[in-house]
Copies of this chain bind each other. A is one copy, B any other.
Amino acid sequence: MHQKLILVTNDDGYQAQGIQVLADSMRKLGKVIIVAPDAARSGAACSITPATAVRVSRISDDVYACSGTPVDCVKIALEKLLPRTPDLVVSGINHGDNASVSIHYSGTMGAVFEACMKGVSAIGYSLRTNKKQCDFSPYVQVVEQWAERVLSEPLREGVCLNINFPETQCLKGSMLCRMAKGAWHTEWLDAGTDSQGCRLFTLTGTFCNLEPEATDTDLYALEHSMASVTPVDIDMTSRESLSEPGLNL
């Protein structure tokens, strides 16, 4: 059997602590190539760079830094940099969780969606933390277990995994769960006006779990010291709405 090929990426940049931990962990499972942004791209979602050229710097034999978004990194890696289609794409470990609706803004998960759209098994890993320097050691075993599992039993077509960790020294295992309903509010700080008199605002925000009673959600897992493992579908069609009489034509 040939050695597995694993693409490692993120949205915090190739020098972030989380991607180093993730790459080290993946090296136990196969040959690792890192293609990641040259600096932080938090909140990049699935954005792409349509108007300007994207630059790729070869940092070392197996590490490339890219001036584009996380999605650009995966697209360039698959088409231009890797010797063959990888067996797995992993993204993270993000500094900050991507549970509930935060998945939509996440560059970490953008990279995962891109791999999934290209038919490659993919997992995103994120840690619920505000710290720049984190202790990732409590999570490394679970990171590796899920990667190993997906390498041996590929995910359903069009499905990828969003795995989030709570900040804890005592992780109580993983929980398979759905995305919780949640919402960000109070998102803008007034930042005065510029020289032309235009108003300025800075993005911030408070997150609210809209289903605090539910016990089957990613937020429940995180609040109970478990890793949340959410299978995510690239096909966003609302099947329930398709069969609803209200929408019929």
Contacts and interface: CB of A to CB of B under 8 A. Distances in A.
Interface of A: 40, 42-51, 53-58, 69, 71-72, 75-76, 79-80, 101, 103-105, 107, 110, 113, 117-119, 153, 155-156, 158-159, 173-179, 181, 183-188, 191, 194, 196, 198-203, 229-242, 244, 246-249
A241 B43 contact: no
Contacts of A40: 51
Given A44-B47, A178-B237, A232-B238, A196 B57 contact: yes
Contacts of A56: 198-201
Given A43-B47, A79-B187, A156 B240 contact: yes
Nearest to A202: B53
B233 A237 contact: yes
Contacts of A232: 236-238
A79 B187 CA distance: 8
Contacts of A181: 158, 235
Contacts of A199: 55-56, 80
A240 B156 CA distance: 9
A102 B53 CA distance: 20
Given A183-B117, A187-B79, A238 B156 contact: yes
Given A48-B203, A49-B203, A54-B203, A103 B233 contact: no
A5 B234 CA distance: 32
28 contacts: A45-B48, A45-B110, A50-B203, A53-B201, A54-B202, A72-B203, A76-B188, A79-B187, A79-B188, A80-B199, A80-B201, A104-B117, A104-B234, A117-B184, A153-B246, A156-B241, A158-B181, A159-B238, A159-B241, A174-B249, A176-B242, A178-B239, A178-B242, A179-B235, A229-B249, A232-B238, A233-B236, A233-B237
Contacts of A46: 45-46, 104-105
